[in-house]
Amino acid sequence: LPSLEAARKSELPVIRGSVPEPARWPQGCRFHPRCPFAVAVCRTEEPRLEPLAAEPGGDRLVACLRRDEIG
C-alpha cells in the first residue's frame, strides 16, 4: 500500500497484468491472477476484509487469504 509518510521519490509497487472487467471478476480472490503470493485456495475462496494482524490496534484492513503469513 502507498504511504503518505514515504519519501515522495519512492516508486509504487507494480501489479503486473490487466484489471479484469467488473462483470468478469475471477472466482475466488480478485487479485489471484496477478498476485505473486497467490496459492491454490486463492482461486476458489474470496477473502473477507479484516484487520491486518501485523498491526494490533491499527486501523488498516486487508482482504487476503494469506494475510497472517505475508503481513
22-54: pLDDT as tens digits: 899 899 999 999 998 899 999 999 999 988 766
Which of 67, 40, 38 lies closest to 51 in space, CA to CA? 67
pLDDT of 16 reads 83
> What is the CA 62 to chain-centroid distance, rounded?
7
Average pLDDT of the residues in 1-12: 66
pLDDT at 60: 79
Q: How far apart are CA 64 and CA 37, in angstroms?
A: 10
